[in-house]
Amino acid sequence: MGWNEWPLMIFTVLAQCAIGAYWFCAVAVLANAGGEHASRRLEKMMLLIWVFVGIGFLCSAFHLGSPFRAGNALIRVGQAPLSNESLFGPLFIACGGLAWLLAVWSKAPGLRKLLLAAGLVVSVIFLWAMTSFYMMSTVPTWDNWTTPFAFVTTALLGGAALANVLFKMAGVSVASARGINFLLVTVACIAIVLAAVITINVAAMLPHIHSSIQAASELSPDMAMLQTWRFILLALGVGILVSQFVKKNNAPVVAIVVLCLMVVGEGIGRGVFYALYMTVGLV
């Protein structure tokens, strides 16, 4: 993977973590999980989600050569996946950001719920647009079912970890909101299994993908080692997450450790993803 892919790697991982965290947090707020006060604190804590998305978009803008070219990506909305991504990303921020601002001001609770619900829909479209950008028929290593599932898996694993941090900081504890915390842990456990299935399938597909000058199996010689480290980090993260739930440990510091493990682990996985780039032609 070249240095030019780093901005995209950071963008996709952080944005997908933010999307997943938004799913958990929006559901928790709409369900009033943990009680009125905890739910209101969680709304305000969701600022961290927009920080993640903002950093991601800033990095992606540098991939264009200059951040000032970012506006050009909107030229073909409805036709080009990049344009759709560039539209629905800011729309996602607008829905959630306005809901957060109203929460800070303690205004319009009905409108806040409407914006949170709209944000759920827009976030799914944003993730779909992000995935569509990589489903290119000229890149056989990406143009298969593993790409969208890998992106969703990152959203679920990273999102669960980020939401867990916000839950702990806001007081949406296991004792006061067992249901949403159980959902978060269960989704994380399912997601790591899905990640393993995806990785095994990618490894099985690579020997069958080649062009006249390139073999996909030779693109990432360190893939096995990198994926091993990735799953060590992810397993540690999920293990600690489960332990926090079982022991009703509400320490934010522990949750932050889990988030770091998940983000680094998925960052390694995304690095392998970009390293597997190849085309069907001679380039």
What percent helix, strand, coil does the chain show, rounded to 5?
80, 0, 20
Terminal CA-CA length for the chain: 16
Give the chain's length: 283
- Asked whether the whole model's pTM tops 0.85, one would answer yes
Lowest mean pLDDT among 68-72, 176-180, 240-244, 260-264: 68-72
63 CB-near residues (< 8 Å, 6+ apart): 4, 7, 8, 11
Instruction: Please tell me the least confidently modeled range out of 15-24, 63-72, 109-118, 124-133.
Output: 63-72
Question: How does pLDDT run across 48-80, given as a tens digit for each residue?
Answer: 999 999 998 888 777 565 555 555 555 666 667
Token digits of residue 134: 């990589």
Q: Are 19 and 155 in contact (CB under 8 A)?
A: yes
Domains identified in the chain and CATH numbers: 3-276 (1.20.1630.10)
CA 75 to chain CA centroid, Å, is 26
Span 138-169, pLDDT tens digits: 899 999 999 999 999 999 999 999 999 999 99
Question: What burial letters (b/e) apply to 239-274, b meaning 16+ CB within 10 Å?
Answer: ebbeebbeeeebeeebbbbbbebbbbbbbbbbbbbb
Give residues with Cβ within 8 angstroms of 38, minimum separation 6.
170, 171, 172, 173, 176, 177
Q: What is the pLDDT of residues 19-28, one digit of tens each?
A: 999 999 999 9
Cα(47)–Cα(152) distance, rounded to whole angstroms?
22
Is residue 14 within 8 Å of 264, Cβ to Cβ? no
